[in-house]
Every structure is written in C-alpha cells, then in structure tokens.
Amino acid sequence: MAKYLITGGAGFIGSTIANTLLAQGQTVVVVDDLSMGQVQNLNQSDQLHFLKHSITDHDFINDLLDQEKFDYILLVGAVASVADSIAEPGRTHAVNAEANFNILEHLRKEKLPLKNLLFISSAAVYGNLAGVPKNELSPVEPATQYAVDKYSTERNVINYHNLYGMPTVAVRLFNIYGPKQNPKSPYSGVLSIITDCLMNDKSFKQFGDGEQVRDFTYVTDVVNCILALLEDSRALGEVVNIGTGQKATLNEVITIIEDITGHKLKKDVLPERKGDIKYSYGDPSKLNDLGLVAKVDLKTGLRKYWEYL
C-alpha cells in the first residue's frame, strides 16, 4: 500500500480520487482550504488525513512534504473555473501556478523520493484556435489567467521530468461532470447548474446561443484513467488528453436532460461569457493508445448523475 497527497482533495474530482484510493486501502492525505470543496465529500476512513489548509502556504506544504515522504502526489487543487480566474487573476496565479511550482521546486531541491506526480491541466490551454478535435500536439493559445497558469504548470511538470528526472505526468481534462460537483457557485460546471435549476425550479442563465460545443466526460472515467496513468511508465513526462472524443452542444445536452427528467428547463438567454471557448472537444487517441478509454456516454452519464441527485 502507498501514501498519496491530493491537493484539492475535498473537491469534486479530488474527492472522487481520494475515495477510490481509500476503498483500495491506500493512505491518503488531503490538503484543501474548502473554498470550493466540502469535507463531507470524503468517505470516513482511518487511512484518511484531512488538513484544512491553503496550498499557497509554502512553508506548511514544504514541512508536510518533508515529514510524510509521499509515494504519489496529485496536484488537483485549483481555482477551478475559467470565469472565476477572470474575476480573480491574482488569486488564480497564486493557487494554480505558484503553489504547484513551490511543490516541484521543493521536491527537486530536497531530492525527495517519489513514485509519480500527476498534474491536472485543462483543455482550456487550447483556447479558441480553429481546428477541433484537439490532440496533444495541437497549437495552444491560453487566453485567460486560468489557461495560462494551467499551461505554465503543465510545462514545468513535464520539464522537471525532462531536466531533473522527476517522475511526472500531466492530463488535460475536458468538461467533467457527475456526483459531488458543487452547483452552488456561478462558476460551477454547467451540468451541475442545469440540474440544480431543474430540481429547484430556478431559471437557467444561458450564456450565448447554446451552440457552444463541449466534450462532457463522466468523473469516474476520469479518475480511472488518472489512477492507471500514475502506474504506467509509458506516460512519464507526457501530456495526455482525458475526454470521450464525443461532442455535444449545450442545446443538445439540455434536450437530453429534459428527456431524462421529464421537466422543461426555464431559461434566460444572456450574452456570451467573456473568455468562453466556442468549440472544445478533444482527440483521445493518445489515451486510447495507452489502453485507456473514457467510456460512459453522455446519456448514460446524465442518467446516472440524475439518479444520484
């Protein structure tokens, strides 16, 4: 059994990873400031150590790294929304870039042993450049603070492998949905907001014409791929898209949800959101070549999500 550090481990994706590892009997240390995450997302276990703290406290994190000697580190903690980063670029940079750089530097300087470190990057790095689906060699154009910080950390993570031999891997996630996604912020994932509107008879604020395209990927698919990549030496020093490769417009998704729930969504149509990407879907060939696939299709995933709610 191994010891894992998960930053942002009380959030939507981090807690799903943590609970999967705890079910395997692994030891998991979670550092989360609970700005978006919730302790209740984490299953109770003697193997879980929860620390409510910000990853921007470098001294705290460095002491933790020195004391615990983690086998695996998962850098999940982030200001998790593009729109949020436009509102708060300074805080975004401190969390999404500086906090992660501090961890890499401390591991390097102190020569701390490590089996693998995985960074959660984002499809946002591709920006609004023409040409979809995006593969890992597609040009990038990070157009928001969120995307710039995801891209710079991704490069650092890969460079620390190439230059210093640190075992690392980075994944670019597309739009993730499923149980535990917190719908309470205006910056939450759109599917959690839509289902919250349906459940509470609220009007959905739709930004733009609803023809924006996304690759919605179910959270357990993402977690299974992440945990497999951590163990795959072929993925060391690599950037890998995690997505289904299937695309859907917001309008199509709303129709599927209305069919599943039998409710009609009330909508207010507003202008497009600043920094929004029109067409975002990925080519998962590299992931698939590693024997991994995000296999839950949108209808099945939305049905599972609705049953969970």
**Cβ pair 186, 81 in contact under 8 A:** no
Residue 189 touching ligand UD2 (CB under 6 A): yes
User: Binding pattern to ligand UD2, positions 45-84, x when CB under 6 A?
Assistant: -----------------------------------xxx--
Read off the tokens for 197. Answer: 């509107």
Which residues make Cβ contacts (< 8 Å) with residue 260, sequence separation at least 6? Answer: 299, 302, 303, 306
Q: Among 30, 142, 280, 281, indicate the residue that binds ligand UD2 (CB under 6 A).
A: 280
C-alpha closest to that of 174 among 75, 56, 298, 85: 298
* Closer residue to ligand UD2 (CB): 101 or 207: 207
Per-residue binder mask for ligand UD2 (CB under 6 A), 94-133, x = binder = ----------------------------xxx---------
Binding mask 214-233 for ligand UD2 (x = CB under 6 A): x-------------------
User: Applying CB under 6 A, which of residues 64, 97, 118, 193 lies at the interface with ligand UD2?
Assistant: 193
If binding is defined by CB under 6 A, does position 206 make contact with ligand UD2? Answer: yes
C-alpha of 270 from chain center:
26
* Closest to 305 in 3D by CA, of 205, 193, 207: 193
Nearer to ligand UD2, 60 or 187 (CB): 187
Q: Rule CB under 6 A: is residue 179 a binding residue for ligand UD2?
A: no
Helices within 12-169 (DSSP H only): 12-23, 58-68, 82-87, 89-93, 99-109, 145-164
Angle, nearest 10°, between helix axes 99-109 and 145-164? 10
* Min CB(35)–ligand UD2 separation in Å: 14
Cα three-residue angle 161-170-40, rounded to 5 degrees? 125
Among 27, 212, 217, 244, binds ligand UD2 (CB under 6 A): 212
Q: What is the distance of C-alpha 78 from the center of its chain? A: 8
Q: Tell me: does residue 171 bind ligand UD2 (CB under 6 A).
A: no
The Cα angle at residue 235 between residues 73 and 177, in degrees rounded to 5: 65
Q: Which is nearer to ligand UD2, 166 or 240 (CB)?
A: 240
User: Can you tell me which of 96, 175, 195, 217 binds ligand UD2, judged by CB under 6 A?
Assistant: 175
Among 68, 71, 258, 276, binds ligand UD2 (CB under 6 A): 276
DSSP annotation string for 171-232: EEE-EEESTT--TTSTTS-HHHHHHHHHHTT--EEEESSS--EE-EEEHHHHHHHHHHHHT-
Cβ 120 to ligand UD2, closest distance in Å?
Answer: 9
Binding site for ligand UD2 (CB under 6 A): 80-82, 122-124, 173, 175, 188-190, 193, 205-207, 212, 214, 250, 273, 276-277, 280
